[in-house]
Structure 1
Amino acid sequence: MKAGTSGQLATGNAPMANAELMAIRQKVAATRRATPRQAHLRRMAALFLLPAAAFLLVLIAYPLFNVLWQSFNYGNLVDPATQGYAGLDNYRTVLEDEDFLPAFWHTLTWTVLSVAGEYILGLIAAIVLAQPIKGRAIFRGIVVVPWVIPIAIAGLNWMWLLNPDYGVLNAWMVKLGLLDHSRDWLGQIDTALLTVTFVNIWRSFPFYTISLLAALQAVPADLHEAAAMDGAGPIRRFWVITMPHLKAVSLTLIVIHIIWTAINFDFIWVMTEGGPLNASQTLPVMIYKFSMQDYDIGAACALASMSMAFMASLFFVYFYGLGRKEAR
């Protein structure tokens, strides 16, 4: 009885197994027929990507490799006889320089304060501009103005505004009683770096505002309505609903701007040139001085390579952590 039933099941399953086998064979045949077309599409895609790959190779990859190579060789802009393999001497020159540690801490302070201030101010501006206020479109256009002003022009304008002799801001602060007398904000050791940081925040926060505003508009309104019906207040809704939706955009903005700010040279050089007495000197300014004032190309490339290694480490840590999170 059992044997007969087993035979019937085997016989009944045979057509099903044959049908599945035929379907698999048909899929394989279809894949083989599509292979020439797919190969052609891949060749066409590679052909279209070739100019971009050449651009990256010539203008980015080769200069980076050259900087790394020069960091292990002696080089001087005014003395062609200074050449040859240096090993780690250029790195020792940088690490033993008395300005290296102060410049490192200035870079850290400049980067952390700038990114934190830009994010906080950008988030506040994005929340305000997301509200149904009158003239919202006009304000959204105005907030972008600092971002589109070139760094050199913005730096020079702020130098004039902060000038202790004829600066408008000093005059206003004295008139309002905030200061007893005009102050040289860019010429004093204790305020130079913080002043440049403030100006950098003023110029860069609109980029955060635009990005975070776009993310805010993508938050489903029904979630806020449901939370409000459940008794959640505005602050509770912000932390539980809004911020999780801004997390991905916020992390991307912060990581990108940490890299951009740490390697920023323009603002500090235009406004203070790293002074007074190197009080606002950061690592990019130090690289410039190594190369264009001391003419020591090897030391400049060594410091640039160290900075690149740090930024690459930050970049890979971020994406490695992001990849592990997505895998989980």
Structure 2
Amino acid sequence: MGAVQSIARGQGIAQRAKTALAKTPRRRRRLPLIAWVFLVPVALLLLALVAYPLLNVVWESVHYVNLTNPTATGFSGFDNFETVFEDDNLLPALWNTVLWTVFSVGGEYVLGLASALALVGPIRGGAIFRACIIIPWLIPIVVAGLDWSWILAPDYGVLNLWLVHIGLLAHPVDWLGQLNTALPTVTLANVWRTFPFYTISFLAALQAVPPELHEAAALDGAPAWKRFWHISLPHLRPVTLTLVTLHVIWTAVNFDFIWVMTEGGPLNASTTLPILIYRYALQNFDVGAACALAGMMMSAMATMFFLYRYGFMGLVRARVRRLNAGDA
């Protein structure tokens, strides 16, 4: 209901704005020349930084482009896509991408929600805790990856030293050098770095919940978990949908964090699709195959966005219209 109510309010605001615009004289609706002067440079910048690279990827995905063989040119048709599909590393990289994305986003959500619930109440030193919890998210990815690589090192890493000292491990473990621990370890490090973004987002949403709702529910005898389930969680739904959608896309296309920590190893145990694209382009020098795989990833991400934008949100709008019709 929280998402439905938010969209209903947004539609009411949009309708009032449309009505005010209809009453505005046509000559006042025209965009002044000074506005175009400011908009044109931004539009040109977006075309240069977004549109041109995107179209270039699509173009090169159906052409032969090889950095070490300049004679390999011309239209390739589906040859680059066949090169990708015939690669034995494609399915393992796809599976690693799914695991990396699902567990990263899931862990970030759980930790972010738990920490936001812990910080939303009046606690001593709450401002200090809120300031400190955002520090991991402010650390650059390369710095965070290198720090975790040093912490997890089997010979001089602090984590192994502590675990052996307290008796949880009999000997140091090469967390990033074993097939069954490399990807989970990198995922945990990524969760540690990213969950503060969820924390501050959920904290802002929780602080916007009217306290009268909790007070009324408490007077009616509702326990804390029921107040959270029926009051807080519905208000978090719009924020949750936005965060999860964005972070699924950002995490799936993330390259630098895994590359800094493991470079996709050992034996491709932590290789994801972005790392496979990098290897096609800058190790095998087959730019055409790299663009083909990148184009497939862009198509998958765009499909996810449109399903969210026009699928789920369309159902929510239909429900809002039904509620408005019932009220009328």
Name the TM-score, length of structure 1 as normaliser: 0.88
The answer to which structure, 1 or 2, has the higher relative contact order (CA under 8 A, 6+ apart) is: 2
Query: Distance between the aligned counterparts of 1:44 and 1:195, measured in 2?
Result: 53
1:197-276 maps to which residues of 2 (within 5 A)? 197-276=187-266
Is 1:67–2:57 an aligned residue pair?
yes
Counterpart residue identity of residue 186, structure 2? V
Q: Tell me the distance in 2 between the aligned counterparts of 1:326 and 1:57.
A: 32
* Matched residue, 1:49: 39
Secondary structure of 2:183's counterpart equals helix
Counterpart Cα distance in 2 of 1:134 and 1:264: 37
One-letter code of the match for 1:233?
Answer: P
Q: Find the aligned partners of 1:132 and 1:314 in 2 and give their Cα distance.
A: 39
Amino acid aligned to 1:104: L
Secondary structure of the corresponding residue to residue 247 of structure 1: helix
Shift of 1:216: 0.4
Match of 2:159 in 1: 169
Query: Is the radius of gyration larger for structure 1 or structure 2?
Result: 1
Q: Give per-residue Cα distances to partners, 1:248-297, cap 9 Å, x unaligned.
A: 00010000000000000001000000000000000000000000000000
Specify the code of the residue in structure 1 equivalent to 2:30. A
Tell me by how many angstroms 1:32 deviates.
9.8
1:323 is matched with which residue: 298, 311, 314? 314
- Give the aligned partner of residue 115 of structure 2: 125
Among 281, 306, 309, the residue aligned to 1:291: 281
Deviation at 1:175, TM superposition (A): 1.1
**2:156 is the counterpart of 1:143:** no
User: Which residue identity is paired with 1:198?
Assistant: L
| Residue 131 of structure 1, CA deviation | 1.4
Residue 48 of structure 1 deviates from its aligned partner by: 3.1
Q: Between Structure 1 and Structure 2, how many residues are aligned? A: 297
Whole-angstrom CA distance in 2 between matches of 1:112 and 1:158:
21
Deviation at 1:53, TM superposition (A): 1.7
The AA in structure 2 aligned to 1:267 is F
Q: 2:19: which partner in 1?
A: none
Identity of matched residues, %: 59
Q: Which residue of 2 aligns with 1:17?
A: none
Q: State the Cα distance separating 1:40 from its structure 2 match.
A: 4.3
Amino acid in the other structure paired with 2:25: A
User: Counterpart of 1:114?
Assistant: 104
Q: Which residue of 2 aligns with 1:87?
A: 77
Instruction: Give unmatched runs, 5+ long, in structure 1.
Output: 1-30
Per the alignment, residue 153 of structure 1 pairs with 143
- Judged with a 3 Å threshold, the aligned counterparts in structure 2 of structure 1 residues 36 and 147 are, in CA distance, closer, same or farther, namely same
Q: Secondary structure at the match of 2:64?
A: strand
In structure 1, the partner of 2:29 is 38
TM-score (normalised: structure 2): 0.88
Give the whole-Å Cα distance in 1 for the aligned partners of 2:168 and 2:233.
36
Q: What secondary structure, in the 3-state scheme, does the structure 1 residue paired with 2:25 have?
A: helix
Q: Structure 1 residue 33: deviation in Å?
A: 8.8
Q: Which residue identity does 1:280 align to in structure 2?
A: S
Residue 327 of structure 2 corresponds to residue 309 of structure 1: no
Of stretches 173-182 and 250-259 in structure 1, the one that deviates more from structure 2 is: 173-182
Amino acid at match of 1:243: L
CA distance in 1, matches of 2:318, 2:30: 30
Determine the C-alpha separation between the residues in 1 that align with 2:174 and 2:123.
39
CA-atom RMSD, angstroms? Answer: 1.3
User: SS where residue 271 of structure 2 aligns?
Assistant: coil
Stretches of structure 2 lacking an aligned partner (at least 5 in a row): 1-21, 320-328
Distance across 2 between alignment mates of 1:159 and 1:58: 36
- Please tell me the residue identity of whatever aligns with 1:81: T
